[in-house]
């Protein structure tokens, strides 16, 4: 199968690499031409200088920072008009579900099926091909056709329902993770200021009811040990949590915690910068009142 992969950043690079390792014909595109050339040379595949060069691919995968950029690729850059009927577009970005449904309708008019298939697992599991992938789509046949491709990048494939539900699930998952991070961060800051040792706090939390993925891995490895290197940008997490808060609003559900967590991460992003690692949010919150760290 010929696959065009658009966006070979921190996550896209290892994901595209695993597709190539699985034996698929691949052509990659990125706004950074040097990355395209490097990837193509390292992995023996094609590299496109223009989006129009991707029009003959059977499948197009997007792994881009926002859903708006994905829509721009297909609509503003007119890629959708060049695609042949029967092409399947797979958006693996963390896009907003409402925008995904709008894009799906526009692509359907060109005879192109859109599948949303966002991922969870961050860079380490992108490298090992063990991502969890949430699959939304309205075309049953298209979902079945993309599963072998997705299996090259993830070992846990979850069908979530109609188009946009994959992106909705990804945003809600990241909201839950962000809320757990915010709670653990506030506990560590308050405890440390009172005289508790953060390492001992995590030891106790992980033997108690406060245990979570955040306390077991993220707080110990990336926060207390000062690594701050998950490879997932603070600005992207802030965007995902806002998507979850907006989704709650769209379905007429009052979700005050989602709004608060969204606000907290937006403040950390604005203070530290979009590109900082998401685990560094605790630094912004710790310094918010001018107290010493």
Which residues are known catalytic residues?
A: 170
Q: In sequence order, what DSSP letters do the residues of 47-60 get, joined into one string?
A: E-SSGGGGTT-SEE
d(CA 113, CA 73): 16
Residue 237 · residue 266 · CB < 8 Å: no
* 8-state DSSP, 22: T
Burial of 86 (0-12, 13-18, 19+ CB in 10 A): exposed
d(CA 237, CA 243): 10
Reference 105, options 114, 117, 97, 94; nearest CA is: 114
d(CA 153, CA 132): 9
Residue 119 · residue 131 · CB < 8 Å: yes
Which residues pair with residue 154 across a beta bridge? 131
Neighbouring residues of 170: CB distance < 8 A, sequence distance ≥ 6: 94, 118, 119, 120, 134, 240
Q: How many CB atoms sit inside 10 A of residue 194's CB? A: 7
C-alpha distances out from residue 45 to 15, 110, 142, 146, Å: 14, 28, 25, 20
Q: Coil, strand, or helix at residue 279? A: helix
Q: What does the buried/exposed string (b/e) look like for 13-23 if buried means 16 or more CB atoms within 10 Å of the residue's CB?
A: bbbbbbbbebe
Residue 264 · residue 241 · CB < 8 Å: no
């Amino acid at each position: 199968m010929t696959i065009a992969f658009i966006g070979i950043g921190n996550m896209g690079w290892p994901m595209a690499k695993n597709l190539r390792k699985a034996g698929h014909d691949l052509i990659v595109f990125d706004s950074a031409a040097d990355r395209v050339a490097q990837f193509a040379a390292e992995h023996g595949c094609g590299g496109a200088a223009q989006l129009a060069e991707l029009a003959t691919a059977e499948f197009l995968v997007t792994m881009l920072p926002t859903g708006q950029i994905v829509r721009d690729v297909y609509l503003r850059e007119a890629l959708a008009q060049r695609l042949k009927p029967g092409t399947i577009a797979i958006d693996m970005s963390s896009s907003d579900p409402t925008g995904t449904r709008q894009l799906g309708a526009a692509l359907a008019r060109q005879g192109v099926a859109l599948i949303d298939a966002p991922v969870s697992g961050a860079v380490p599991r992108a490298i090992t091909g063990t991502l969890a992938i949430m699959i939304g789509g309205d075309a049953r046949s298209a979902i079945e056709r993309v599963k072998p491709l997705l299996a090259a990048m993830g070992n846990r494939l979850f069908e979530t329902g109609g188009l946009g539900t994959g992106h909705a699930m990804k945003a809600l998952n990241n909201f839950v993770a962000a809320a757990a991070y915010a709670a653990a961060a506030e506990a560590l800051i308050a405890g440390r200021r009172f005289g508790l040792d953060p390492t001992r706090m995590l030891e106790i939390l992980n033997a108690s009811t406060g245990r979570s993925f955040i306390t077991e891995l993220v707080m110990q490895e990336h926060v207390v040990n000062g690594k701050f290197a998950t490879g997932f940008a603070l600005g992207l997490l802030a965007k995902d949590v806002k998507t979850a808060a907006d989704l709650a609003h769209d379905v007429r559900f009052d979700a005050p915690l989602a709004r608060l967590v969204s606000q907290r991460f937006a403040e950390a992003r604005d203070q530290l910068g979009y590109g900082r690692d998401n685990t560094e949010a605790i630094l912004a919150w710790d310094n918010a009142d001018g107290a010493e760290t």
